[in-house]
Structure 1
Amino acid sequence: MKLSISTIMFQQTELILLKEKAVYCPSHKALFIADLHFGKAAHFRKSGVPIPEPIHNADLYNLQALISVFSPSTIYFLGDLFHSDWNGQWEVLNDFLKQFTEVTFHLVLGNHDILDERAYRNSAFEVHKGCLELGELLLSHEPLEEIPVGKLNLCGHIHPGIRLVGKARQSIRLSCFFYKPNQLILPAFGSFTGLALMKPKPGDQIFGVTKEKVIPILS
């Protein structure tokens, strides 16, 4: 796995933005991931849309690679870990994570995390129904509207993206990290997700994500 990173410093906390659409915080030995939406392919198949299951394999491979490189003690999933109703992919995900006995997994529940409490109780996760505080960081699924001074909200839900237009009017859409005062919105980690094009305001920063690196686009 070849690392290509950009870094944000929020007060005393260093956050490394990764092309795998995750954030690593060295001081907490923690990885942050938003919007995996695992099991979404099976959900679509139930509705008659023929989406192949292996579409999620790349997500597991990326997660395994991140654990191998960074050896985190904790991984925080910032909501929408699993896509809505239960299907067999929930067990696939849990069996995969349980092999990493040295890692503690936390789940901040999102709007798609609607499984029965018994499923979470018997899972690999410590589950949190509300915002979770970690030092200077406030972890949530949806972006917080009110953020205390001196805190940075890490969140997902939006699936932020940016559209770049070339001189010949050709364009490309990229996932991005969207950083504005006191808030960092992570791109969707899952490969089977869409994009919401962001409209930056003065003071906002955008870091585009390509297969090779994270690119500061607006800073």
Structure 2
Amino acid sequence: MYSSLSFSGTTLYLLPEKAIWIESYSSLFIADLHFGKAAHFRKSGIPIPEPVHYNDLQVIKQLIERYSPTDLYVLGDLFHSDWNEQWELLNGFLAGFSKTKFHLVKGNHDVLSPFAYQQSLFQIHDAPVVLKNMFLTHEPAKKVPEGKLNLCGHIHPGVRLHGKGRQSLRISCFHLSETHLILPAFGHFTGLSLVKKGPNDHIYGISGEKVIKILYQE
């Protein structure tokens, strides 16, 4: 079950798949996929199984089939570090969705060669993208144009929920402030950075198949 919010007349749907759907734009937004990270670790001698990324691709497939987006924007850190064979696998997988245009707003981990990006399915954006009343970046922008909401990633936001006694649980979340909406890391093979709720902020935690507004946070 999603949560929704409105910004200047635009409705944004915060999805439990760690994505945002804006129906009026016919666009999906995700951040921090970090595809290829498992292969990068294996190259360093750490045996990480590849299905960790396969699951992420299946979620992308489900999202595209459900919403039929005209555009899908990755807000940085699409691919983790140097080239490996998973780059070809990713592009081959996305080639099956010919009705969707794929965009990459480059992040700090997007360091493949210009040739690799030129041969990909992605339209590459080296600078922030202004999309109607959204301002798309990887890292939270230090200065957001007036009247825009900065959709971004990079932080891998999470929140700790406390139960009875000493029970606690860390979950991914969307972090909304007056000018920024930070997306959770889409990739499963990523960590969490616990965020602090400012006085005018809103935290939307992802618990199973639900996105829930966190009303209290220690």
CA distance in 2, matches of 1:19, 1:209: 6
Q: Does 1:135 align with 2:132?
A: yes
Alignment RMSD, CA only? 0.8
Mapped partners of 2:203, 2:96: distance in 1: 35
The reply on whether 1:205 has 2:202 as its aligned counterpart is yes
Q: What is the identity, as a one-letter code, of the residue corresponding to 2:207? A: T
Equivalent in the alignment of 1:165: 162
What residue in structure 2 maps to residue 8 of structure 1? 5
In the TM superposition, residue 12 of structure 1 has moved relative to its aligned partner by: 1.4
Is 1:55 the counterpart of 2:48 in the alignment? Answer: no
Distance in 2 between residues matched to 1:19 and 1:212, nearest whole Å: 5
Task: Give 4+ residue runs of structure 1 displaced > 6 Å after superposition.
Answer: none
Amino acid at match of 2:18: K
What is residue 114 of structure 1 aligned with on the other side? 111
The C-alpha deviation readout for 1:137-165, integer Å capped at 9, x for no partner, is 00000000111221100000000000011
Name the aligned partner's letter for residue 81 of structure 1: L
Query: 1:192 maps to which residue?
Result: 189
1:84 corresponding residue in structure 2: 81
Secondary structure of 2:99 counterpart: coil
- Asked if 1:102 is matched to 2:95, the reply is no
Give the SS at the match of 2:65. helix
Match of 1:146 in 2: 143
Aligned-pair CA distance for 1:212: 1.7
Q: How many pairs align? A: 216
Following TM superposition, by how much is the alpha carbon of 1:182 offset from its aligned partner in structure 2, in angstroms? 1.4
SS, match of residue 123 in structure 1: coil
Instruction: Kindly state the Cα deviation for residue 211 of structure 1 after the two structures are TM-superposed.
Output: 1.6
Distance (whole Å) between structure 2 residues aligned to residue 55 and residue 214 of structure 1: 22
Aligned to 2:67: 70
When normalised by structure 2's length, the TM-score is 0.98
Unpaired segments of 5 or more residues in structure 1?
none
**Cα offsets for 1:53-92 (capped at 9, x unmatched):** 1111110010000001000000000000000000000000
Q: Is the 8 A contact 1:107 1:125 kept in 2?
A: yes
- Counterpart amino acid of 1:103? T
Which AA in structure 1 matches 2:48?
A: I
Q: Output the TM-score relative to the length of structure 1.
A: 0.97
Counterpart in 2 of 1:28? 25
2:37 to 35, 40, 48: 40
Contact kept? 1:207, 1:218, Cα under 8 Å: no
Structure 2 residues without counterparts, runs of 5 or longer: none
Q: Distance in 1 between matches of 2:76 and 2:207?
A: 23
| Residues 75 and 103 in structure 1, CA contact (< 8 A), matched pair in contact too | yes
